[in-house]
Amino acid sequence: MASVSSYSGSAIALFAATIANAQVMNGGFEAGTGIDADNWTEIAIFGGAMGAMASTERVMTNPASGDWHMEMNVTGAPDFGPVAEIQQQTLVGSVNPGASYDFSFLAAGNPGPGTVGFYEVLWFDGDGSNGGGPQGSATGLQTIALNPGYTPVGMSGLVAPAGADSVFISIRVVTGAFDGAVGSMIVDDVSFVPAPGAALITGLAGCLVATRRRRA
């Protein structure tokens, strides 16, 4: 009996998390295999011959919620400035033109010399009905203020343009091409959801339409 009730608790928690992150899949990084999180592209760009390194891994060191989060580390060298990044393109139909959305995540980090965190959300045409690919930037390229503790990051009231059916999310940390350039960033609870105010307005508009139809 104990195992049954703990299973239903997990199922309810999972259901709630799915609703909260309706547009982003696996925004809390709980699903995955080892260091690879499902639904996310994990990128680590480094090279040269002088020891530059980058890593992007799902880990359990310091989650904001659940058991897992993402960790990105960069170490620069005189011949290379590395990049550690996560990306996700949401499903076709996850965004409706004209609707308003809120993008948010939690980030913390140690911005050593030369290190900056960035994020950007691009409107995207995933089914190719409007030429395919990016349909403009929702947020512009934004820097992330990195503090030792998790801090909310993001932007609200993002209105989807005509031709957008999804978004492309990029969160990354970069450092310089010099000795001593180093930094790290952790991320959890990535969310891209309809703005609550917009949902309310849509609901009210629906009521007005229904009222008019009834009178007619």
- Residues of this chain that interact with Ca ion (CB under 5 A) are 28-29, 63, 65-66, 68-69, 188
Which C-beta is closer to Ca ion: that of 28 or that of 111?
28
Nearest-approach distance from CB 152 to Ca ion, in angstroms: 15
Nearest-approach distance from CB 107 to Ca ion, in angstroms: 13
Nearest-approach distance from CB 84 to Ca ion, in angstroms: 18
Nearest-approach distance from CB 55 to Ca ion, in angstroms: 18
Round to whole Å and give the CA distance between 164 and 49: 42
Instruction: Return the sign of the alpha-carbon dihedral for residues 72, 105, 66, 13.
Output: negative
Nearest-approach distance from CB 106 to Ca ion, in angstroms: 9
The residue behind tokens 């959300």 is: 121
Which C-beta is closer to Ca ion: that of 27 or that of 183?
27
Which C-beta is closer to Ca ion: that of 28 or that of 76?
28
Which C-beta is closer to Ca ion: that of 123 or that of 150?
150
Which C-beta is closer to Ca ion: that of 63 or that of 81?
63
